[in-house]
Amino acid sequence: MTRRTFAQVSAAGAAAQTAKPEQILMLVYPGMTLLDLIGPQQVFGYLMGVEVSLVAKSKDPVTSDTGVRVLPDKTFAEAPLAPDILFVPGGGRGTVALMSDTATLEFLASRGKNARYVTSVCSGSLVLGAAGLLRGYKATSHWAVREVLPSLGAELVNARVVEDRNRITAGGITSGIDFGLKLAARLRGDDYARALELTLEYDPQPPFRSGTPEKAPPNITAQARQMYAPLVKAAHASAARARQSWHPQP
C-alpha cells in the first residue's frame, strides 16, 4: 500500500492532495515504545495530503525500548512552527527522563501552542503534561501511570481515547491504532477512516482477555503494578519538578 493509491477511493483524499500538505510532527526519543508511534504513523502515512515527520534533537539514530533504531527526519530547529498535528509516543524510563528534559519540553510547548491538534499515546501524555500542555484539559495515559496526570494539571479520564477540544490523548501502547483512526476521521471523514480500518484489517482478536487491569487475572495485574511501581514513583517526582519550571499560564 502507498498513500497515493488512496486517491482512487477518496474524493476527500484527492482534494487534500492538491492543497499544501498538512504537517504531522511525531517526536522520537531514546527508550520510546515504538508501537506507540507506529500504530498512528501507519494510519497518518496512508492519508493523502500530509507530510509525516519524525522529529528529534538531532538526526542520529534513535533506539526504541525494544532495540529498534529509527532515523529522525527533522531536528527540533527544522520542525515547522505551527504543525497540524503534534504527537508524542510513550515509553518507560526514557519517557520519565524526558519529563525533565528542558530542550524537549520547550520544543513541545512552542509547537503545541500553535498546533491544530496536540496528541499522545501511552505515557506520552506525561511529557505533554510536563510541558504544560494539558493544564485544564481532560486526558488519559497508560493505565499504569495515568494517576500522575492530575499532578500535571490534567483531569484524568479512564478511557481508551480522550478528546478535549484540540487535545487527544490515548491509553497504553495499542490504543494508538484506535487514536489514529479517530483522528483520520476528523481530518478526512468517516469513509476514508473506514477504508483505512479495512486496509489495516483491524478486526482484533486479543488471544487473552487481559488488556486492562480490570480484565486481567488479579494476580497478573498485581504483579504488573508491582513491576511498574518504581516507574510511577519516578514519574510523580518528575511531575513535581516540571510544575516548578512552568511559567504562569497565559
Q: Scanning residues 1 to 20, which ones bind its own copies (CB under 8 A)? A: 1-3, 5-6, 8-9
Side-chain half-sphere exposure of 134, counting CA atoms within 13 A: 33
Give CA–CA dist 157/175, Å, rounded: 14
| Residue 29 makes contact with its own copies by CB under 8 A | no
Q: Which is nearer to its own copies, 138 or 160 (CB)?
A: 160
At position 14, the amino acid (one-letter code) is A
Residue 152 contacts by C-beta under 8 Å, 6 or more apart in sequence?
126, 129, 130, 134, 135, 239, 242, 243
Distance CA 31, CA 180 (A): 21
What is the spatial distance between Cα 133 and Cα 125, in angstroms, rounded to a whole number? 9
Min. distance of Cβ 111 from its own copies in angstroms? 20
**Which listed residue (68, 81, 82, 240) binds its own copies by CB under 8 A?**
68
**Near its own copies by CB under 8 A, which window of 75-83, 127-135, 215-223, 240-248?**
215-223
Least distance between its own copies and beta carbon 101 (Å): 19
Q: Using CA atoms, how far apart are residues 174 and 50, in angstroms rounded to an integer? A: 23
| Cβ-proximal residues to 78 (8 Å cutoff; 6+ apart), any chain | none
In the window 140-179, what residues touch its own copies (CB under 8 A)?
142-143, 160-161, 171-175, 177-178
**Active-site annotation holder among 35, 98, 122, 183:** 122
Residue found by looking up cell 510541558 in the block: 131
Question: Is position 122 annotated as part of the catalytic site?
Answer: yes
Task: Choose which of 58, 75, 114, 223 interacts with its own copies (CB under 8 A).
Answer: 223
Q: Which of residues 81-100 bind its own copies (CB under 8 A)?
A: 91-93
Work out which of 41, 104, 169, 238 binds its own copies, going by CB under 8 A: 41
Smallest gap from residue 167 Cβ to its own copies (A) = 18
Torsion of CA 228, 167, 237, 65, to 10 degrees: 40
Binder of its own copies out of 97, 185, 232, 237 (CB under 8 A):
185
Nearer to its own copies, 103 or 227 (CB): 227
Residues annotated as part of the active site: 122
